[in-house]
Structure 1
Amino acid sequence: MHESSVGGPLLWPAGEPWASCSQEHDAPFGLTTPEEVRTLRRIRALGVWTDEDHAEVSRINAGHDPSLLPEGPHPLVPVAQLYARDVPDLPFPEGTDLLQVLWCPFIDIVDQSGSEAVQLHWRRAADVAEAEGLAAAPEPAYVGTYELVLVPCVLHPEQVLEYPAAHDLDPGSAGRSAGGTRTGAAHPRPQRVESRDRELATGRGGAGRVLDPHGCHRGPRLHPAGLRVPRRSPAPAGHRHAVTW
């Protein structure tokens, strides 16, 4: 609870109602329970599946009838918890040092900008006594898309230099960035560098970047080697720093 993380747990005051959403949500696919999401991930991580595993995955993938979705409010699920010390480029409101992001796990939240389906909670961590932190958050009865229930993990952010995507450049600049070369001790001979390796940083992002519900911008992969920059390095004109994890 005292580290930046994805998927929870959150440092949440026991005396404060858990974030919820009372909006109606479309469920174009079969519903899944949070426990089924965990079961599905556990089985998929196995090297060998038994007949029972195959049967369980098929049952979960079939989903539950969307008509079973109860009326709100629906408890939101944790997306990210970010401490100011870990994301120095993210502007925090004065007097706060902790940002908590939660959303309602239904795909139609992408069309509900500014609604209560996605919430940001800014806090001063010292104001939340450790004894008040909830050990387990309330869970919704069903989720519409299991990818919106993120796997809990601790974050280790790093600051990288992020270049504009080729489609954001004028034709002349885009042509010059289509490929390049690099040299060095590890590359005694010039080697071609694909433009996609020098553009948008992979991984989950903060400080001006948004979390993509379907894997948080190309998934939790590390940024290509060679583009990590020290926090003190200034970004060249036309470029910006982005914090990825």
Structure 2
Amino acid sequence: MTRHTPPRPVDVERLFPEVASLRKETVRLHPSAGEPTCRDSSVGGPLLWPAEEAWPSCPEHDGSPMVPVVQIYRSAVPGIVPFPEGCDLLQVLWCPRKHSGHRWIVPHVRWREAGSVGKVGETPPRPAERWEDYVPRPCVVHPELVTEYPYWDLGDDLWDELEFRFLDLDEETGWDYQSHLSTAPGTKLVGYPGWCQEPDWPACAGCGNRMEHLLTVESTEADAVSRRAWTPVEERHTPSEGPGLVLGDLGGVYFFECHVCPGRPFTHRYDCP
């Protein structure tokens, strides 16, 4: 079943024209528990991984296999997702074990051409020692293009200009800019990261440019406040069972990549409420 996010309850750009130029499109994935195959886009499902290609393992734990987190076929998502030339499949894995330096996960990002995959390998067993909350339940996805606006990424000057107007709107209507009108919550592609705190945009180690947001993986699709505005119409009365992740204190992991340097280098950030 497709998913439809309700329209914003007020006209954001009419009330706050200052944010109009900062509008971005994001692809909400709306993961719901299911039985995806390696030929499907999924969260936590099996990957279209070539049998002859080594499965990624954690560099900190000798030979410990990573677990599938996200697989997205280009045909399943709108064209705003920047697939590299010659690639039509995005695969993200991570190690769900405890790591040094207070790291939640160690990730791996792989772009590939699905048609070049011959015999498909089997997903290795999950490592016996793992944080169960960091292993996503297999979910099908329902990609949806949604407009969003920045909150934490507004910048100090614009925040100072708009803060009291945000408060006035909340008092008059009950709609909060941060929770109900700005950045879409949940697991999503491109657009704005789902920051819970001050932004921490990484710079590429190769060229020094600010990296682009590729993927947000969240513990939940919406918190108790934001679900009022962001819950899909189809789930208002029967919420879907999602991946079941608990990342830190119900936080998220954000993936970034450089579109300039060869090989699309990536990095990630953690965030907690």
Query: What TM-score range do you get, normalising by the shorter chain?
Result: 0.5 to 0.7
2-structure distance, mates of 1:137, 1:217: 28
Q: Is 1:158 matched up with 2:144?
A: yes
Deviation (angstroms), 1:94: 0.7
CA spacing shift, 1:227–1:76, aligned 2, 3 Å: closer
Contact 2:51 2:122 in 1 (8 A): no
Deviation (angstroms), 1:177: 2.7
Q: Is 1:203 matched up with 2:209?
A: no
Deviation (angstroms), 1:133: 2.1
Secondary structure (helix, strand or coil) at the match of 1:177 reads: helix
2-structure distance, mates of 1:227, 1:173: 28
Contact 1:3 1:83 in 2 (8 A): yes
Cα deviations across residues 162-196 of structure 1 (Å, max 9, x unaligned)?
11116734212122233549xxxxxxxx9542221
Cα deviations across residues 3-60 of structure 1 (Å, max 9, x unaligned)?
2100021111111111111315xxxxxxxxxxxxxxxxxxxxxxxxxxxxxxxxxxxx
Contact 2:185 2:230 in 1 (8 A): no
Q: Is 1:76 matched up with 2:69?
A: no
CA spacing shift, 1:216–1:5, aligned 2, 3 Å: same
Which ranges of structure 1 fall in alignment gaps of 5 or more residues? 25-71, 182-189, 229-245
Q: Give the structure 2 partner of residue 215 of structure 1.
A: 219
1-structure distance, mates of 2:42, 2:59: 26
Q: Give the structure 2 partner of residue 92 of structure 1.
A: 83
Q: TM-score, normalised by structure 1?
A: 0.57
Cα deviations across residues 143-176 of structure 1 (Å, max 9, x unaligned)?
1x22210011111111111111167342121222
Q: Give the structure 2 partner of residue 134 of structure 1.
A: 121
Cα deviations across residues 110-148 of structure 1 (Å, max 9, x unaligned)?
8669x9x3111111111113xx223443321211x2221
Q: 2:63 is matched by which residue type in structure 1?
A: P
Q: May I ask how many residue pairs the two structures share in their alignment?
A: 166
CA spacing shift, 1:107–1:203, aligned 2, 3 Å: farther
1-structure distance, mates of 2:40, 2:56: 20
Q: 2:133 aligns with which of 147, 152, 166?
A: 147
Q: Give the structure 1 partner of residue 110 of structure 2.
A: 121
Which ranges of structure 2 fall in alignment gaps of 5 or more residues? 1-37, 191-212, 234-273
2-structure distance, mates of 1:120, 1:23: 17
Q: TM-score, normalised by structure 2?
A: 0.52
Secondary structure (helix, strand or coil) at the match of 1:21 reads: coil
Q: Give the structure 1 partner of residue 51 of structure 2.
A: 14
Q: Give the structure 2 partner of residue 65 of structure 1.
A: none
Q: Is 1:177 matched up with 2:166?
A: yes
Q: Which has the higher Rg, Structure 1 or Structure 2?
A: 1
Cα deviations across residues 44-83 of structure 1 (Å, max 9, x unaligned)?
xxxxxxxxxxxxxxxxxxxxxxxxxxxx121000010011
CA spacing shift, 1:206–1:3, aligned 2, 3 Å: same
2-structure distance, mates of 1:127, 1:150: 27
Q: Percent identity?
A: 35
